Amino acid sequence: MPIRTPTLLALALTLVAGCGGRGTPGAGTPGAGTPSAGTPAAAGTARPTVDRAVAQVVTADGELRYPGVPQTLSFSASGKLTEVTVTAGQEVKAGDVIARIEPDALDVNLAEARANRIASQQQLDQLARGTDLERARQELERAKNNRWSVQAQRDAICGRARADCGDGDEFARQACKATREDSQTGCDQAEANTNAADQGVRIAELNLQDLEARQDTDRKAAQAKAEVSRLALARAERDHAGQALTAPFDGTISAVNVNAGIDIGPGSPVATLVQTRPLRFVTANLGERYVGEIRVGHKAKVILTSYPDRKLDATVQRVDSQGQRDQAGAVVFTVYLDVMPTDDLPVYAGMTGRAEIDVR
């Protein structure tokens, strides 16, 4: 018995050690979690794919602004201001009369512009028909006919002045000499008339040549003059129609710069009009992460700081195509949302709040 006990104890310890090496993780053993060469995991552990979460609502802080810049209203013509029909803070509709100037001077300007337009167009039409050239040609023909008539008279008169009085009796010779002497004075005048007729022909020829040379230049000048008169007439018509200054769009008069009774020039500010509807919510800190999901027309809700329990309906109007870096260096994009008007809440430009844009 003393001999078997150590042997059995050694055998038991050996069996226990063998079972512990298979079931207890340890360095260099399969139980430590290291795959064996024959297992699929030995080829490498697969990395998980992280999908970018798509937001359904994108939020950004911002403020309300007017949808357009204030516009200064002025007359295009000078005149005496007879009436100012608006006051600061007044809401107006497109086409409402803001002010008027007296029409007398505008009536005169319009009449003069119409007369100049008619005259310039007649001159252009005359050049196009060649009336001046035709008249110059007729003048030349008349000058030539006059010269021929004068030359015939000269030849007749001077022929008598050069008559040979050697034939006939004494009485006939004396009568011929008397006629020749009388005709000599007329011949001198006839020669002067012929020279004048020659000069008239030369002047008519030069005038025709000048008109022919200037025909193209004159036509271009007349066309330019006609165009200037057309533009002047159009401006006079606009000025005449503009004796009443009207609102170009719906908005609110933010300032009135003049009073009735003063003389006013073109471009002088009369009033300032601001488009106030629809108010536009402009974001200030929309990050670039979700800006690519925002589209024009997306619906949104705007919660103003003044009315934290109300959500105002809004629609994305546009997104700036150029991002800007904020003070922290992050890129932010400006989104403009048109806010639907409300009748029960006083809403003003400059109010701050937050927009919730539905991008589903």
Average pLDDT of span 315-323: 94
If asked whether residues 109 and 158 sit together in one domain, one would say yes
If asked whether residues 222 and 115 sit together in one domain, one would say yes
- What is the arrangement of strands in the sheet containing 324-325, beginning at the earlier edge strand? 286-287, 331-333, 324-325
164 has pLDDT over 70: no
Average pLDDT of span 128-138: 76
CB-CB contact of 103 with 77 (8 Å) = no
pLDDT range class, residue 353, cuts 50, 70, 90: very high
Give 21-63 pLDDT, tens digit per residue: 434 333 333 334 434 444 343 333 344 333 445 558 999 999 9
Alpha helices in 24-103 (DSSP H): none
Tell which residue, 328, 262, 282, has the closest CA to residue 66.
282
Other Cβ atoms within 10 Å of 295 Cβ, number:
10
> Within 13 Å, how many C-alpha atoms sit on residue 335's CB side?
32
If asked whether residues 189 and 233 sit together in one domain, one would say yes
pLDDT at 99: 94
If asked whether residues 213 and 307 sit together in one domain, one would say no
Which domain, by its residues, includes 141? Answer: 105-241
Does any domain span residue 52?
no
pLDDT at 16: 36
CB-CB contact of 264 with 100 (8 Å) = no
Pull the structure tokens for residue 183: 């005709």
Does any domain span residue 26?
no
Whichever domain contains 78, its CATH number is 2.40.50.100
CB-CB contact of 318 with 298 (8 Å) = no
> Within 13 Å, how many C-alpha atoms sit on residue 85's CB side?
14
pLDDT at 123: 80
If asked whether residues 213 and 258 sit together in one domain, one would say no
pLDDT at 224: 86
Pull the structure tokens for residue 185: 């004075």
If asked whether residues 134 and 225 sit together in one domain, one would say yes
Does any domain span residue 41?
no
State phi, psi for 289 to the nearest 5 degrees. -60, -40
Q: Measure the CA–CA gap between 199 and 221, rounded to whole angstroms.
A: 31
Write out the DSSP string of 157-195. HHHHHT----SS-HHHHHHHHHHHHHHHHHHHHHHHHHH
If asked whether residues 224 and 116 sit together in one domain, one would say yes
Identify which of 131-145, 182-196, 215-229, 257-271 has the greatest average pLDDT. Answer: 257-271
> What single-letter amino acid sits at 275?
Q
Does any domain span residue 109?
yes
The percent of residues in the chain predicted with pLDDT above 90, rounded, is: 36
pLDDT at 176: 67
* Average pLDDT along the chain: 79
pLDDT at 180: 65
Tell which residue, 255, 238, 326, 248, has the closest CA to residue 287.
326
Write out the DSSP string of 103-152. SHHHHHHHHHHHHHHHHHHHHHHHHHHTHHHHHHHHHHHHHHHHHHHHHH
Does any domain span residue 117?
yes
If asked whether residues 115 and 222 sit together in one domain, one would say yes
- Number of domain units in the chain: 3
Average pLDDT of span 337-348: 89
pLDDT at 168: 60
CA 345, 348, 354, 357 torsion-angle sign: positive
For residues 173 and 320, the model is more confident at: 320
Domain stop point among 226, 254, 274: 274
pLDDT at 352: 97
The region of weakest confidence among 36-40, 262-266, 323-327 is 36-40
If asked whether residues 139 and 263 sit together in one domain, one would say no
For residues 129 and 246, the model is more confident at: 246
Q: Measure the CA–CA gap between 150 and 172, rounded to whole angstroms.
A: 29
Residue with tokens 């029909």: 85
State phi, psi for 131 to the nearest 5 degrees. -60, -45
By residue count, the chain amounts to 360
If asked whether residues 301 and 260 sit together in one domain, one would say no
Q: Cβ neighbours of residue 158 under 8 Å, at least 6 residues apart?
A: 183, 187, 190, 191
Domain stop point among 241, 264, 295: 241
pLDDT range class, residue 320, cuts 50, 70, 90: very high
259 has pLDDT over 70: yes
pLDDT at 294: 94
**C-alpha dist (Å) from residue 91 to 87, 96, 264, 312:** 9, 10, 24, 23
Does any domain span residue 327?
yes
Residue with tokens 């295009």: 76
If asked whether residues 109 and 189 sit together in one domain, one would say yes
For residues 202 and 33, the model is more confident at: 202
